[in-house]
Amino acid sequence: MDLRLVEHPLVAHKLTHLRSVDTDSPTFRRLTEELVTLLAYEATRQVRIEPTTVRTPVADAEGVRLVKPEPLVVPILRAGLGMLEGMSRLMPTAEVGFVGMVRNEETLQPVTYAERLPQDLAGRQCYVLDPMLATGGSLGGTIRFLVDRGADDITCICLLAAPEGIERLQELTADLEVPCTLVVAAVDEKLDQNGYIVPGLGDAGDRLYGVAD
Ligand code: PRP
Ligand code: URA
């Protein structure tokens, strides 16, 4: 798995604001969107394109366009939904598939409660959105769904990652034929005894949308 840490002063600035316990939910949502757009710029560096020609008011110009089938963006519900708008702004023609997962906070195992993806992902580049990579269970489970359906290139975009989660994803993707990339704004220190990223930003879903049971 290719790990890309996006080091940019604007990313660091926005992330600092996002982490703060004093940042309210509307601001948290806005910052999440802004951060995703910045990360997506890096994450889509290898998006597939093909040559095309357009007519300018003056002459023909050689250019490029996205190949078909278009990429598939997959936010992991709930918190990944907060990243969708920022991603769609950059790649409005991408299609969107959904995976709903919640972590059992005692076992830390992900439970899948929703899944709406195209049956056949052959030839598709997929971009998975989840703000938090903690133990890696949720992202790992989603990568499996995509690989099982034939996705041939997977890029995960996360705001924060724990070293433990990165290690787990490295192990999980080591045997896959499919190239996997992880793009993150920061790698934090560790997980705490409850599986939370330290220093992290708390529960991303709750901060975006309010506390859910
Ligand atoms: C959070 C987060 C990730 C997951 C990360 O979701 O958005 O999906 O935890 O943890 P993991 O790497 O240990 O699997 P959560 O399960 O809290 O659900 P939510 O998005 O509905 O709040
Ligand atoms: N999920 C979150 O939302 N935050 C964490 O720190 C870990 C998992």
Catalytic annotation present for 203: yes
| Helix, strand, or coil (residue 38) | helix
DSSP for 126-169? EEEE-SEESSSHHHHHHHHHHHHTT--EEEEEEEEE-HHHHHHH
Dig out the tokens for 200 from the structure: 């992290």
- Judge if pTM exceeds 0.85: yes
Spans of all domains in the chain: 2-50+63-198
Nearest alpha-carbon partner for 195 in 170, 166, 172, 164: 164
* Neighbour-count burial of 180, counting CB atoms closer than 10 A to its CB (0-12 exposed, 13-18 middle, 19+ buried): buried
Which of 201, 206, 211 for a ligand 2 pocket mutation test, highest count of atoms within 8 Å of Cβ? 201
What is the rounded distance in angstroms from the CA atom of residue 187 to the CA atom of residue 176?
Answer: 23
d(CA 174, CA 151): 16
Whether the Cβ atoms of residue 195 and residue 103 lie closer than 8 Å to each other: yes
Task: Specify the pairing of strand 110-116 against strand 60-66.
Answer: unpaired
Question: What CATH code would you report for 2-50+63-198?
Answer: 3.40.50.2020
Q: What is the pLDDT along the chain (213 residues), one digit of tens a residue?
A: 999 999 999 999 999 999 999 999 999 999 999 999 999 999 999 999 999 999 999 999 999 999 999 999 999 999 999 999 999 999 999 999 999 999 898 999 999 999 999 999 998 999 999 999 999 999 999 999 999 999 999 999 999 999 999 999 999 999 899 999 999 999 999 999 999 999 999 999 999 999 887
Considering the candidates 19, 103, 124, 207, report the single residue annotated as catalytic: 103
How far apart CA 47 and CA 110 sit, in angstroms, is 29
213 is catalytic: no
The neighbouring-strand residues paired with 128 are 74, 156
Of the residues 77, 203, 206, 211, which should be mutated to test ligand 2's pocket, given the most ligand atoms within 8 Å of the CB? 203
Six-digit token pair at 4? 């890309």
Rg (Cα) of the chain, in Å, rounded? 17
Alpha carbon of 76 to ligand 2 centroid (Å): 13
Given the CA of residue 141, which atom of ligand 1 is nearest to it?
14
pLDDT at 212: 81
**Cα torsion for 135, 210, 184, 1, to the nearest 10°?**
40
Give the residue among 151, 160, 162 at the shortest CA–CA distance from 186: 160
Q: What six digits make up the tokens of 13?
A: 């600035």
Whether 152 sits among the annotated catalytic residues: the reply is: no
